[in-house]
Amino acid sequence: MKRTIATVIATTYFVFPIIIVMATTLPLYNNHEEFIEAFNKEVKKLDLSKSLENIKKEEETITSKLDKDITLIENIDEKGAVHELVMVGKGEGMDIILSMGLLIGMTNPNLNQSQVGAVLKELRLFDESYQYQKNETTVEKNTIRYNLKYDQSVGVIFSISKVN
């Protein structure tokens, strides 16, 4: 009996705060439509010719293509709120950098272009001596966390989420 009570107390003490944090984590966007609106606004602001193509919705993700080499994945909850964006890009080129800048600007709309560039620099994107194959970088700007890593099989993986 004492063991059961201790287990219940320990579970409540350790697990309940985790559940509360998970339940109270604010999404990046309240729904896919809000995400699309922010995306289109940033594209227009930057005068880019990007659009989301081949949109496929599954239970916990919405996948779309920015171009033939760049895929964007929205991780959504049961209510449809977007909690994380993951961009996967193959190859080398400005399209990956432009897409990363676009996503930083739309998730942190108060940043100007030079501040977006500073985030890219903090991610060590322009550091030729940095070994992405062995490392990953994370930058937190305001309430948003940006993570950049490289995987030999899939390419550049850039993820964006709210800071807990």
Each residue of 15-57: pLDDT tens digit? 555 445 445 578 999 999 999 999 999 999 988 888 888 999 9
Number of structural domains (the chain) is 1
Let me know if residue 16 belongs to a domain.
no
Let me know if residue 8 belongs to a domain.
no
The pLDDT of 121-130, averaged and rounded, is 78
Domain range spanning residue 36? Answer: 27-162
pLDDT value at 6 more than 80? no
Let me know if residue 140 belongs to a domain.
yes
pTM (2 d.p.): 0.80
Let me know if residue 43 belongs to a domain.
yes
Q: Is 74 exposed, middle or buried (0-12, 13-18, 19+ CB in 10 A)?
A: buried
SS3 content of the chain, % helix, strand, coil (to 5): 40, 30, 30
**pLDDT of amino acid 23:** 53
**pLDDT of amino acid 150:** 84
**pLDDT of amino acid 143:** 92
Let me know if residue 58 belongs to a domain.
yes
The pLDDT of 53-71, averaged and rounded, is 91
